[in-house]
Homo-oligomer: A and B are copies of this chain.
Amino acid sequence: MTETVPRPTLEAVAARAGVSRATVSRVVNGADGVTEPLAERVRRAVEELGYVPNQAARSLVTNRHDAVAVVAAEPESRVFADPFFARQLRGISRELTAHDNQLVLLLTEGRHDHARVARYLAGGHVDGALVFSLHLDDPLPGLIQRAGVPVVFGGRPGWSGGGNDVVYVDSDNRGGARDAVRHLLGLGRDRVAHITGALDQTSAVDRLDGYRDAMAGAGPRLVAEGDFTLAGGERAMRELLENHPGLDAVFAANDLTAAGALRVLREHGRRVPDDVAVVGFDDMLPFAEQTEPPLTTVRQDIEEMGRLMARLLLRGLDRTAAARGTADGSPSGVICPTTLVRRASA
């Protein structure tokens, strides 16, 4: 263990800056009423002495820790391998940092660790949590809600325990899917198939609904179930070609699924887009540009979604601090628009 060096005190900072303890305290806690030259002197003394304010004492006054937890329901190894999560986290990190809030990422090895995460959240270490929980049967959201901290979810939670008071940020999965299918119909295709994502995730359910919306009255519904993986896309594409050899377009639930479909279409001698047009979802870069042919797909602004989640949580915390109990009127879901990105595949 490292030996503890004596921490410089508030008094030492006051002496160095030649001001009163109260002035140092006001500057350190971000209160008003100190002139800028004086505040600057205090900040310099804080820096020179390496003063660390007593967070516990400060929390007693402000009732805030200036820290926000990020919790992913996936195991640590998957969290670190997921390019989406990395991008969302970037948006979250930037927004929290801009408000001088500490990002506290709580990692786990699996579901059996979720009770411990809930204990940590309930223990008064953070002001709120940003939670990513993708699967419909996940117990994490319920556990976290019982921990009694304000939460904003990333993606519409499938779990319905929270009623209207659940706040989340999501892409317009349904609208984006509608755009994709309408684009294919607009190209004159009339046998448009859909390969779904993993249907235990709300994003997959919403994209399937978008496909159904757009296909109403426009042609037969040709659906095969995928799972958001490349191998799942290959499997589903084979199934579709067997059952519906006349199909002339495919809307795949994500870019990986589309890449699997492209591979199987090539194996079967179908030209893309001439024989079969293909659209993906996500615009996962550089992946979506490197498929053969490059993929037309639906783009979501992942980093902005992360930023929005953080902003909503911080805004809610301010409101709670200003007038406890008047959280009504919160939006229950904030839906971010998507954009169709045209490349060669459709």
- Chain A residues at the B interface, C-beta cutoff of 8 Å: 1-5, 7-8, 50, 52-56, 59, 65-67, 76-77, 80, 86, 89-90, 93-94, 97, 100, 102-109, 113, 115-120, 122-125, 128, 142-143, 145-148, 150-151, 161-163, 165-167, 316, 320, 327, 330
* Residue of B whose beta carbon sits closest to that of A4: B148
A-B contact pairs, 13 of them (CB 8 A): A1-B150, A1-B327, A2-B162, A3-B163, A7-B122, A50-B146, A52-B118, A56-B123, A56-B124, A76-B93, A97-B109, A102-B117, A102-B119
Report B-chain residues with C-beta under 8 Å of the C-beta of A59: 123
Which of A1, A105, A115, A116 has the largest number of chain B CB atoms within 10 A? A1
The answer to whether B103 touches A103 (Cβ under 8 A) is no
Q: Find A1's partner among B54, B105, B108, B165 (CB 8 Å cutoff).
A: B165
B5–A146 touching, CB < 8 Å: yes
- Name the one of B1, B90, B122, B146 contacting A320, with C-beta atoms under 8 angstroms: B1
Contacts A8-B146, A162-B3 given: A104-B76 contact, CB under 8 Å? no
Nearest CB in chain B to that of A80: its residue? B86
Q: Closest residue to A28 on the B side, CB-wise?
A: B119
Q: Are A145 and B55 in contact (CB under 8 A)?
A: no
Contact A165 B2 (CB under 8 A): yes
Given A77-B90, A97-B109, A116-B100, are A5 and B123 neighbors across the interface (CB < 8 Å)? Answer: no
- Pair B52/A119 contact, Cβ less than 8 Å: yes
When the two chains form their complex, are residues A106 and B109 in contact, meaning their CB atoms are under 8 A apart?
no
A3 to B122, CA, bound (A): 14
Say yes or no: A2 contacts B166, CB within 8 Å.
yes
Which residues of chain B are within 8 angstroms of A53 by Cβ–Cβ distance?
A: 119
CB distance from A158 to the nearest CB of B (A): 15
- Closest CB in chain B relative to A35 CB, distance in Å: 23
Most B C-beta atoms less than 10 A away, residue of A54, A122, A123, A330: A123
**A263 CA / B93 CA spacing, docked (Å):** 37
* Cross-chain contact of A52 among B55, B122, B124, B316 (Cβ < 8 A): B122
A331 CB to nearest chain B CB (Å): 11
Known: A65-B123, A165-B3. A113 touches B142 (CB 8 A): no
Which of A4, A8, A54 is the most central at the interface, judged by chain B CB atoms within 10 Å of its CB? Answer: A4
Report, nearest first, the 8 A-B pairs whose CB atoms are least far apart.
A55-B123, A105-B105, A125-B125, A3-B165, A1-B150, A97-B109, A76-B93, A103-B107
B146 & A52 in contact (Cβ 8 Å cutoff): yes
A93 interface neighbour in B1, B7, B100, B107, Cβ under 8 Å: B107
Known interface pairs A1-B167, A55-B120, A162-B3. Does A104 touch B106 (Cβ–Cβ under 8 Å)?
yes
